[in-house]
Copies of this chain bind each other. A is one copy, B any other.
Amino acid sequence: MSIITLTTDFGIKDEYAGIIKGVMLSVNPAAVIIDITHNIEPQDLIQAAYIIKHSFKYFPVGTVHVVIVDPEVGSKRAIIALETRGHIFLAPDNGVLTLLLNKGDIDSIIRVENLCYFLKPVSQTFQGRDIFAPIAGHLSMGVKIETLGPPAHKSDLKILDFKYPCISNNTELVGTIVYIDRFGNLITNIDANTLDKFCKTSEKKGLKIIIGRNKITGLSKSYESAMPQTPLAVIGSRGCLEIAVNCGSARCYFKAGNGDLVIVTKK
């Protein structure tokens, strides 16, 4: 099996995503290349970090995940290859893999420096094509990440600051909206575990979820358990608290944006 996934901010208007697939197939004609998304907002590392964290585990062990959101392309920022839980990741060392590092169990981290796998000459503006693509091609053929360069330590890597939810006074759990999907669902950084720590199962029915001046009572099991056009809170597919509107858009309903606070209280 030789699957490569792509998570980039290239968009799909230009030739960029197509070209890196061409380079990958030139190295490994048997590679199966799957787009996770090319529509990360330009240079939005936080968004890319969430998407790769929530996506990779649904691919077979052995998959090579390439994440190219790279505002510093052409600078001296390193490129890293990383192996964890049987998956291989290739990305600029700019923090985009932070949420994977948090999980622990990293098997190996390599600083990618072995020029023999690079396309020549290496441009300073499109290293997705000249470095990431050929290396991903080779990794998908079974090349070991250890051959790509010297080992690095987790503490050497650039780490992004993520907002994490916090519990104040044991009565309020304060999180933020970290992603808004196509349907207008507001996805928070409050994961199910944090919610479990905050309250007992028996208390969940009475939880209030506050967003702006609005209040939602209780957690729903699915979108359609609220009336059409009515807001609800649910543990969504990312395993996090999500605010939605059945058959509508919570983004429009609440005029909400990334970074907005969401407060959970027990009464």
Contacts and interface: CB of A to CB of B under 8 A. Distances in A.
A22 interface: yes
A92 B213 CA distance: 36
B13 A36 contact: no
What is the count of identical protomers in the complex? 3
Interface size classification for chain A: 35 or more
B25 A129 contact: no
A44 B151 CA distance: 48
A54 B15 contact: yes
Interface string A94-130: 0000000000000000000000000000011110010
Given A12-B37, A14-B37, A34-B21, A72 B237 contact: no
Contacts of A145: none
Given A5-B18, A12-B37, 8 more contacts: A14-B51, A16-B237, A22-B63, A25-B34, A25-B59, A26-B60, A123-B236, A123-B237
5 contacts: A14-B181, A15-B37, A15-B55, A17-B35, A22-B55
